[in-house]
Structure 1
């Protein structure tokens, strides 16, 4: 059974738009990855329907992904719509210890800035 996005240790959020053909093509594979990683919470966020979730994230291209471990943002940015890239990134982050993830999340100025700007989990409804 999949865990809820709010409760899952790992959160994978895809920020897209309903009008985007690339997003529509990407969504079934994204949902399939959710089945492959049942302990992670996967959310699909239409940035036009739920602008408060994307908030200050600079969404320039679709899909834009945010990956979090608890409240720590590990990745925030556009990704080529190739699911094997996302799958490998999730596997890499899941293989890290909590301490490694913390060091990674704060490891440079860009990732440190994500912690306040890109915390999607804190803005999810419910």
Structure 2
């Protein structure tokens, strides 16, 4: 699957949830993720990726724990890992991403994935 580039102007923060269609935890988390997307719509772009349907975009990334969040500014990944499926957990990570208080992740595979979202 090829992702369309971000329209300009776009929010600086990307929040992507990597899940699987067969994962019941992901099913129940989808509404929470969509709600957070509405809550932070002016500040972040939210994307739901199915690890099987979007496997070409994932490249070498192998997600084994669900849900997994990717939070980034452009090609700078700030968080990439599994989270508990609770709104407050993701909300705190998103707020920290917006504040710039998350570290930098230097991972070539994650940067390649982030490149699929760039114009």
Query: What's the TM-score once normalised by structure 1's chain length?
Result: 0.78
Spell out, residue by residue over 1:9-54, the C-alpha distance to the aligned partner (whole angstroms, 9 max, x if none).
1000001111110000000010000011012110000111110222
Q: Decide which of 44, 47, 51 is 1:47's aligned counterpart.
A: 51
Q: Give the gaps of 5 or more residues in structure 2.
A: none
Q: Are residue 61 (structure 1) and residue 54 (structure 2) matched? A: no
Q: Work out the CA distance in 1 between the residues paired with 2:117 and 2:49.
A: 9
Please list, as runs of the form range in 1=range in 2, the aligned pairs for 1:1-126 lying within 5 A after superposition: 6=6, 7-38=10-41, 39-96=43-100, 104-105=103-104, 111-112=105-106, 114=107, 116-119=108-111, 120-124=113-117
Query: Could you tell me how far 1:125 is from its partner in structure 2?
Result: 8.8
| Equivalenced residues, count | 111
Uncovered stretches (5+) of structure 1, i.e. residues with no partner: 106-110
The structure in which a higher percent of residues are helix is 1
Deviation at 1:121, TM superposition (A): 2.7
Does structure 2 retain, via aligned residues, the 8 Å contact 1:12–1:42? yes
Give yes or no for contact 1:67–1:76 (8 Å, CA) kept in 2: yes
